[in-house]
Amino acid sequence: MMAAPTYALPYDRRVHKRGADLLNDPVLNKGTAFTEAEREAYGLQGLLPPRVTTQQEQLDRFLPGVRARPTLLDRYAYLVSLADRNVTLFYRLVIDNLEEMMPVLYTPTVGQACEQFGHIFRRSRGLFITADHRGRVREVLANWPHADVRMIVVTDGARILGLGDLGANGMGIPIGKLTLYTACAGVSPHQCLPVTIDVGTDNVALRESPTYMGLPRPRLQGEAYDALMTEFIEAVQERFPLACLQFEDFGNHNAFHLLETWRDRICTFNDDIQGTASVTLAGLLSAARITGVPLEQMRLLFLGAGEAGIGIGDLVVESLVAGGLSEAEARQRCWFVDSRGLVVRSRTDLAEHKRRFAHEHAPVSSLLEAVEELRPHAIIGVSGTPNTFTPDVLQAMARHHARPIVLALSNPTSKAECTAEQAYAATGGRAVFASGSPFDPVTLDGRTFVPGQGNNAYIFPGVGLGVIVAESARVTEEMFAVAARTLAAMVSEEDLAMGRIYPSLSRIREVSRVIAVAVAEVAYTRGLARRPRPDDLAQAVLDAMYEPEYHSLV
């Protein structure tokens, strides 16, 4: 029998497989696109229908099947089954139809996918590190089959989107985020590692469900939890020293604590805090072009003082300070309303991360009252509580400003503080509106408004790619500020004329590429790069981007 030839693929992998093994390898499989010569060389004759098709013909055959699925969750499962069979075709389909596929592969569908994890689970993906692995996390990490991991997204499932504690079912989130790294910024799939740290779940219904596949016990807390996380992070440094570690959907306390502990020691960031901050800052910078009020003069009022809100506040402050304001002046621009009212000095119930934004002011109990008192230029909804930007609140905003900025960022759509239609209707079409989940364009009195989507996917894939290209040792606040300015600069006058403060999602690969160059530039300027500077950084970024093309195996 002829030995299977081996080839260096664009990545560090050789083809030793033949026949059914080759067809069952989702990275190497091309399905009906295997050529006659490949079918001969690899023992595929008879294992495939005879007609050889192009990748485009495969797409033309598969895409109608995706669209025919009745629900977004069905489409998600259908696409995952494609990824399980043929990674290249999966990414071709996703990249060529990115705007359509993003809501299928990430918010809002990914939340449902996590909730239904036990039902739609077919083939395991990613790495599960559990409380029972304490003391041998290195060994478990060594089981991952790819050596050159550069991007890790990790969750402990404590607070999945706005859905709460989903334990090990949270795995859908790192998988989804990494899919976006590849689709939006061309980070190679084999360089991506989704990780779920299963420390149990405090969701009793889930724990008791027969379809739950995680550890059915209460969450590990305190020192034991910290020890497991430290062991994991140190093991990552050993096995994948060039990897960037992105924290995702951790509970409030752990998210802030892990970020503070590790941000100056390893290459890490938290997207809920920093990615959200960057995309929102970009939105505010674009909105300033519509309202004529520059960021330095804006008063911002946040509804919700959690990871997203405080993250945005911190980055706005950093950005204003870089622009010449004192820190005290910059903080004075950011006001917060949490579930107990305005965050003011006299309150004794404030968590550490809120205290830095507690200002001298009499107590105020409602958002409406706060809007009337503070007359903010922008209200930013990051509360996870729907219908909180009531008509009263929106009308008050419109009374105080010609072009009030209304960002209803809570996800999924059902949690948005208000809908696009409500925002435009209550302000006579004057609101500069963007949301976290997509809303359709709204027509009001014959005018059509296109709401922007403050999607973190504008930011994190590009930041990650820039970090990878420079092999940066850290991910800094400056990088997120630069990413925000870069994104805002890509918003065209036409976008603004439609009321859209973000570029079209169809441009996201271009956006990610440009952000990656800017972020890598910061890494080089700040001496954080661990790789010599290429002569042409823009070209180096372009060269690093994965393209889902079939490579000849003969």
Residue positions annotated with a catalytic role: 106, 177
Q: How many residues bind ligand NAD (CB under 6 A)?
A: 29
Asked if residue 156 binds ligand NAD (CB under 6 A), the reply is no
Residue 456 has, within 13 A of its CA and on its CB side, a CA count of 26
Asked if residue 162 binds ligand NAD (CB under 6 A), the reply is yes
Q: Which is nearer to ligand NAD, 306 or 429 (CB)?
A: 306
> What are the structure tokens assigned to 299, written together?
């008063």
Helical residues (DSSP H) of 69-203, grouped into ranges: 72-85, 87-96, 98-105, 109-115, 117-120, 137-141, 172-185
Assess whether the previous peptide bond of 412 is cis (omega < 30° from 0).
Answer: yes
Asked if residue 307 binds ligand NAD (CB under 6 A), the reply is yes
Asked if residue 411 binds ligand NAD (CB under 6 A), the reply is yes
Would you say the C-alpha torsion 52, 58, 64, 67 has a positive or negative sign?
positive
Asked if residue 337 binds ligand NAD (CB under 6 A), the reply is yes
> What are the structure tokens assigned to 206, written together?
């889930």
The one segment of 405-413, 508-516, 518-526, 527-535 that binds ligand NAD by CB under 6 A: 405-413
Helical residues (DSSP H) of 248-366, grouped into ranges: 252-262, 276-291, 307-322, 327-332, 352-355
> What are the structure tokens assigned to 87, written together?
């990674």
Q: What residues form DSSP beta bridges with 74? A: none
Asked if residue 393 binds ligand NAD (CB under 6 A), the reply is no
Asked if residue 456 binds ligand NAD (CB under 6 A), the reply is yes
Asked if residue 384 binds ligand NAD (CB under 6 A), the reply is yes
Contact by Cβ (8 Å): 60, 93: no
| CB of residue 400 to ligand NAD, shortest distance in Å | 20
242: nearest Cα among 475, 444, 58: 475
Asked if residue 500 binds ligand NAD (CB under 6 A), the reply is no
Within residues 237-256, the interface with ligand NAD by CB under 6 A covers 252
Q: Which is nearer to ligand NAD, 114 or 161 (CB)?
A: 161
The one segment of 17-25, 95-103, 216-224, 331-339 that binds ligand NAD by CB under 6 A: 331-339
Asked if residue 276 binds ligand NAD (CB under 6 A), the reply is yes
Asked if residue 385 binds ligand NAD (CB under 6 A), the reply is yes
Asked if residue 309 binds ligand NAD (CB under 6 A), the reply is yes
Residue keyed to tokens 């033949």: 18
Q: In 10 A of CB 203, how many CB atoms?
A: 21
Q: How far is Cα 31 from Cα 357, in angstroms, rounded to an integer? A: 56
Q: Which is nearer to ligand NAD, 455 or 472 (CB)?
A: 455
Binding ligand NAD (rule: CB under 6 A), the pick from 179, 383, 427, 486 is: 383
The one segment of 44-52, 77-85, 219-227, 403-411 that binds ligand NAD by CB under 6 A: 403-411
The CA dihedral of 360, 364, 369, 374, to the nearest 10 degrees, is 10
Q: Which helix (H) or strand (E) holds 303?
A: strand 300-303
> What are the structure tokens assigned to 69, written together?
């699925």
Q: Which is nearer to ligand NAD, 169 or 388 (CB)?
A: 388
Asked if residue 436 binds ligand NAD (CB under 6 A), the reply is yes
Within residues 20-39, the interface with ligand NAD by CB under 6 A covers none
Asked if residue 472 binds ligand NAD (CB under 6 A), the reply is no
Q: How far is Cα 545 from Cα 529, in angstroms, rounded to an integer? A: 18
Asked if residue 303 binds ligand NAD (CB under 6 A), the reply is yes
Contact by Cβ (8 Å): 389, 410: no
Residues found near ligand NAD in the complex (CB under 6 A): 161-162, 252, 272, 276, 279, 303-309, 337-339, 382-385, 388, 409-411, 415, 436, 454-456
